[in-house]
Amino acid sequence: MKKSTQKKIIAVLAALMALLMLLPILANIFVSPSYAVTQGEIDSLKGDAKDLKAQQQELKEQLKEIAADKNKALERKKNLENQIYAVEQEIANIAAQIEKYNELIAQKEEELAQSEREQQEQYELFCQRVRLMEEQGEVSYWSILFSSSDFADLLDRFMMVEEIIDYDNAVMERLIAMQKKIEADKASLEQSRTEQEEAKAEEEAAKAELQSLKKDVEKTLAEIQDKEEEVKKAEQELQNAAAKMDAEIRRKEAQLAAQLAAANNPIVSESGFQWPLPGRYRLSSLFAGRVHPITGKYHHHTGIDIPAPGGTPILAAKSGVVLTSERGSSYGNYVVISHGGGQTTLYAHMSSRAVSEGQTVKQGQTIGYVGSTGSSTGNHLHLEVRINGTRKDPQAYFPDIKFSY
């Protein structure tokens, strides 16, 4: 596999892992119905979804490259197997030829042994004849000739000696020629067998090399298979992540639409109070005893805390007159509104205030923006309701709202 393809796979897998690690965090944030959604968040998710689809397409292209590499490797393996089969056939043919040469050599060796036996027999006959001649006092052909009684006997003896000599010479020449031929044939066969053995050794080496190449191809195929499975798994995970993100986008779009509807139709309870943060109904801290997040001391929380992004507009719960609009050490930026009849509301930890003391405000008017000033650990609105100076649980004045915690 090409190194560039491997690098691409690693990069995509790294991006996928980062996204998969981020999704649970996003899910925890977005699943809560009280968390307000912005169009910017939806647009950001759509951008992420677009990136996911691009990565999916890139993985598909990589799978095509992997498939091409796999096909090449399979073709290479097939060619090597064909070559190995041809070499094995050649080795078998050479082995058969060597076996035939062995049989021929054995046959020739037997013929040579037979010739040697015949030669030995002729030699023994020759020696026997010589001993017989010695016993008879005839130690040479000349002695045979000179021992003739007359000329006719000489001629007979001469012809006999000549026949004997011719016979002996013929026998010896035939045996010598036979021995030379057999030895030459044997040497030739031995040479052929040596050459065949060398050819066999070369074929065996070629076979071993082909087997090694085959193993390399099989290893490459295994690596390609692993990469293919890895990329397919990554593609499936991207597909699942994209599906989850698409579902999340649809859910957020529906939630945003609901938020916009809630903002255009603010909830006004039977008590006449309007919720100051439309669409945000999760409470992070209640009107009850708790351990202070900064001091660590147990105390009674004098209101409720509503988490929201910094800069979210805060609306007046009721019409009235601004009694206080200042910055304190604990409340940070805060506003107190008198609604008459001994009713007041307090809005604390604002990033900034939009009204001033003595100003008359209408219900639903923006009086400030969510922040984290004063004794605060994060962006939220601290809301208090006071009746004739006594702090009351704000939830009691919004019975129509289903809060989450």
b (16+ CB within 10 A) / e for 79-114: ebeebbeebeebbeebeebbeebeebbeebeeebee
Topology of the domain comprising 1-265: Helix Hairpins (1.10.287)
Given a contact cutoff of 8 angstroms between Cβ atoms, the answer to whether 287 and 304 are in contact is: yes
So what's the pLDDT on residue 330?
A: 92
- For residue 75, the 8-state DSSP code is H
Q: How far is the C-alpha of 97 from the C-alpha of 192, rounded, in Å?
A: 10
- For residue 396, the 8-state DSSP code is G
> Start-end ranges of CATH 2.70.70.10 in the chain?
289-397
Cβ neighbours of residue 362 under 8 Å, at least 6 residues apart?
316, 319
Q: How far is the C-alpha of 384 from the C-alpha of 380, rounded, in Å?
A: 13
So what's the pLDDT on residue 362?
A: 94
So what's the pLDDT on residue 306?
A: 96
Report the predicted TM-score, pTM, of the whole model to 2 decimal places: 0.41
So what's the pLDDT on residue 252?
A: 75
Splitting the chain (405 residues) into consecutive groups of 10 residues, what average pLDDT does each group show? Answer: 55 54 45 54 81 82 82 80 79 76 73 72 71 61 64 72 75 74 75 77 79 80 82 81 82 71 61 89 92 86 95 94 95 96 96 96 94 94 96 93 90
For 289-397, give the CATH class: mainly beta
> Start-end ranges of CATH 1.10.287 in the chain?
1-265
Q: How far is CA 36 from the centre of its chain?
A: 41
Torsion of the alpha carbons at 248, 249, 255 and 259, rounded to the nearest 10: 140
